Amino acid sequence: MTDARDAPRNPDALLRRAGVRGNPDRDQHFLVDDRVLDRLPDYAEEADFDLSHVLEIGPGTGALTDRLLGVADEVTVIERDRDLAAFLREEFADEIAAGRLTVVSGDALDVELPDFTACISNLPYGVSSEITFRLLPRGKPTLLMFQKEFAERMAADVGTDDYGRLSVSAQHYADVEVVEPVPKEAFSPPPEVESAIVRTTPRAPDYEVEDEAFFLRFVKAVFTQRRKTLRNAIRNTGHISGLDDADAPVAAIAEGKTELDPDVLGKRAGKIPPETFAALATVAAEYGLDGGENG
């Protein structure tokens, strides 16, 4: 078998052999820039990713798959397009026979994910958020292609214009780093937006949350009213966060019943770091849910 790292398959030739063209209406934009394709495994190796079993979502015609086989012991790809999945099984028949590649035909939001050690993918942008938040709780490093705006929001620091729900939620699970912007011309057909490669390195947050699902829901709720003060944002979004009494946690903070400084209620969500959101969520659950201090 030819070493994929020494002789990578040409992405344009793969498209021709597959007999396909990208379809923007189906969120298909194939990564065809050899330089970007070659750098993706490098970004994983320089961060010491465990590449014993790499997961790739949305492999298309296999240009990135080919590079991953050059550095990984085993690769599993999940492709929702049945025709492309069939092409991959034919194109990479030798690698499949050798037990180094598994092709799963299905939707990455529905199929059972393998026990992977890292995920490296050019994600379908239309479902990139849903897929990302299926991956991050698994606690494995990822190297993912996103729309540039989405990538910058994931990695944003508190107090910046891009900081928001996505920043807090993603950084709850991992350190997030934008490692390279990618131009439209790197894809066939070119998308309407610029792209970027994001590397996530899993780590435990430096704060505690008792109910992770409620924490993430609370963050989502408050950021729907990011221009409001936290006092009003918490009160106005109980139907989103699931609070039974959204006034109670605000009153508890204002009256000094918690460890939070009451002044926090006058701030806005974009100025609040993740650890403060965690403390706010804890108070919200304690005083605002049935069965808590207010129940």
Cα distance between residue 114 and residue 170, in whole Å: 21
Question: 156 in helix, strand or coil?
Answer: coil
29 labeled binding residue: yes
79 labeled binding residue: yes
172 labeled binding residue: no
122 labeled binding residue: yes
Q: Comparing C-alpha atoms, which of 221, 295, 287 is closest to residue 258? A: 287
164 labeled binding residue: no
Q: Comparing C-alpha atoms, which of 29, 35, 38 is closest to residue 184? A: 29
58 labeled binding residue: yes
Cα distance between residue 244 and residue 2, in whole Å: 62
Residues 6+ away with beta carbon under 8 Å from 235: 246, 247, 250
- 173 touches 200 (CB < 8 A): yes
Question: 195 in helix, strand or coil?
Answer: strand
- Binding site, by residue number, is 29, 31, 58, 79, 107, 122
Residues making up the annotated binding site for S-adenosyl-L-methionine are 29, 31, 58, 79, 107, 122
